[in-house]
Amino acid sequence: MSFPSIENIKHILVIGSGAMGSQIGMVAALAGYRVSVQDIAEDMLAQAKEQLTARMQANVAKGRTGAEDAEAALGRLTFTTDLAAAAADADFVIEAATERLDIKRQIFERLGELAPAHAVLATNSSTLGSSKVADASGRPEQVCNMHFFNPALVMKCVEVVRHGQTSDATVEATMELARRFGKEPVLINREIPGFVANRLMGAVQKEALALHSAGIASVEDIDTTAKAALGHPMGPFELMDMVGLDVIAFIAEATHAETGNDDDRPHPAIARLVAEGHLGRKSGQGWYTYGK
């Protein structure tokens, strides 16, 4: 029987070429790994390649990345629609596909058939614990969450979440891989809706929304208090606008689906803004108004 080991990890496969998947792939390539980014859509792959190239060029221009390092990292990236070929020699897989359980289970079932016996199969999901896909893989002991934060090229934290059957070897390999990516991994020993970061963020947001809804203080003054009194880099309303109010609502809906607690449903003020198309920075309007 093969066991996961950091020394065995040479080729990393990232499934999904959206903003998260493509940036996770770039993080791995910058760390010196050979990386395949796989997606079912050719246009998404082309867009991801174009955006990553532009981002690396910008980082070089700003002195954040050396020109040779950026060129070498881009050279280690491959973009493909062929899952079977990409998975055939993958030592570590990070699934960053859409947040639909049926799709994720299909992916993990195929990975269980296609990937080498020693490969770790991780999901980047921020809402679905890996126990929901582990059995589909046929190797539940080598499945865990490896949750990156947006934007993955910048944010340092990675939540590694084990489920009841995740092996110590899988956890150790995943934690060390995150460190080699230049990240700061945190281990969550038991699945819980929202993991740690989203629960902390949600608690602050819930209180901020309650204070605002009761007319205790304005959005601006609550944000100022969080920054000036608590040292937060952003206020809770600013953070919601940056993350996207639709994403905030989705996280709440997913948490409610897990807990059944009505207090976990999206706050009415969030639901109203989303229904009006006010999603935060990306739409130009959320709690605040932004320029184009």
Strand 11-15 relative to strand 92-95: parallel, antiparallel, unpaired?
parallel
Helices and strands: H and E segment counts in the chain? 12, 8
150 is catalytic: no
| Separation between Cα atoms, residue 201 and residue 185, nearest integer Å | 18
Contact 38, 50 (CB under 8 A): no
| Separation between Cα atoms, residue 90 and residue 243, nearest integer Å | 31
**Other beta carbons less than 10 A from residue 82's beta carbon:** 10
95 is catalytic: no
Report which secondary-structure segment, H or E, holds 188.
Answer: strand 184-188
- Out of 163, 167, 198, 267, which one is annotated catalytic? 198
Contact 21, 14 (CB under 8 A): yes
| Residues contacting 109, CB < 8 A, separation 6+ | 136, 137, 138
126 is catalytic: yes
| Separation between Cα atoms, residue 178 and residue 185, nearest integer Å | 6
- Out of 17, 126, 131, 137, which one is annotated catalytic? 126
User: SS3 for 78-122, per residue?
Assistant: EEECCHHHHHCCCCEEEECCCCCHHHHHHHHHHHHHHCCCCCEEE
261 is catalytic: no
- Out of 124, 137, 141, 147, which one is annotated catalytic? 147
| Separation between Cα atoms, residue 143 and residue 148, nearest integer Å | 16
Tokens of 188: 């969550």
- Out of 95, 141, 159, 191, which one is annotated catalytic? 159
Contact 56, 49 (CB under 8 A): no
For the annotated catalytic residues, the residue numbers are 126, 147, 159, 198
